[in-house]
Amino acid sequence: MEIFFDIGFYGLLAIFLIALLASAIKVLREYERAVVFTLGRFTGTKGPGLIILIPFVQQMVRVDLRTIVLDVPKQDVISKDNVSVNVSAVIYFRVMDAEKATIQVENFMAATSELAQTTLRAVLGKHELDEMLAERDKLNNDIQEILDSQTEIWGIKVANVEIKHVDVAESMIRAIARQAEAERERRAKVINAEGEQQAAQKLLEAAQIMAKDPGAMQLRYLSSLNFIAGDKNSTIVFPFPIEMASLVPGIKKA
């Protein structure tokens, strides 16, 4: 009976020691770090690879250092020109300092998500709808810089921000289409007016040159006659110079 008791005792002791050893040995992947606390106090960051902790004395928090892709849910934004839009975005960030990400903030994922939502609304609310649609790269950079500066104290680096969708109401889409059509018509009229202005300027310059030299006017007159004659018209009406009336007998000047 005593022999069976000894076997059972030593068996339980072996199991306890194996469990104790298993809790003391940790293996971290290349992209992981362990923030170690000894009796509740931060004592360092370890990893990657094999690390050993003192059971019941040391605890660790595992932190992933890979880039995290965070979807920012749709936000209701009122633009500077009082247009209501729904905007969604995606953020790419990573933990640069495992110690700060663990100690300085309770949940860096939730904190970054909430900060991204408020920043998205604040930045886009300062711009008009046309700027949201046409200047996304600039807005992305502005949001990224603001987020990066505020998450730096958490040991987080915001690498990139991309606005995915800017959803506008159907009635506003029709209004934008009408505005675009009006803008195209305006540009067409401006281009046409500029062309007429340039043509008029050239005609004025030509008239001034021919006025200075009567021979140039005669050449222009003969060129016009040649053009009319080649147009296959049965009747040709052209002005008769008053200066040539004296050369024809029987024609008196008015």
The residue-averaged pLDDT of 123-128 equals: 90
The residue-averaged pLDDT of 113-128 equals: 93
| Residue 95 is assigned to a structural domain of this protein | yes
pLDDT confidence of residue 145: 95
Arithmetic mean of pLDDT over the chain: 82
137, 76: one domain = yes
| Residue 252 is assigned to a structural domain of this protein | no
Beta carbons of 67 and 94 less than 8 angstroms apart: yes
25, 56: one domain = yes
* End position of a domain, from candidates 168, 189, 213: 168
Tokens of 146: 């603001």
**What does each C-alpha distance from 189 to 162, 175, 195 come to in angstroms?**
38, 21, 10
Contacts of 117 (CB under 8 A, 6+ apart): 72, 73, 75
> Whole-angstrom Cα distance, residue 65 to residue 156?
10
Evaluate if residue 81 carries a pLDDT over 90.
no
Express as a percent the part of the chain with pLDDT over 70: 75
> Whole-angstrom Cα distance, residue 180 to residue 169?
16
Of 50-64, 111-125, 196-210, the one with minimum mean pLDDT is: 196-210
> Is the model's pTM score more than 0.85?
no
105, 135: one domain = yes
CA atoms within 13 A on the CB side of 133: 9
Containing structural domain, residue 20: 2-64
> Residue 188: which pLDDT band, with cuts at 50, 70 and 90?
confident
pLDDT confidence of residue 89: 94
pLDDT confidence of residue 238: 54
CATH number of the domain that 72 lies in? Answer: 3.30.479.30
| Residue 253 is assigned to a structural domain of this protein | no
The residue-averaged pLDDT of 153-168 equals: 92
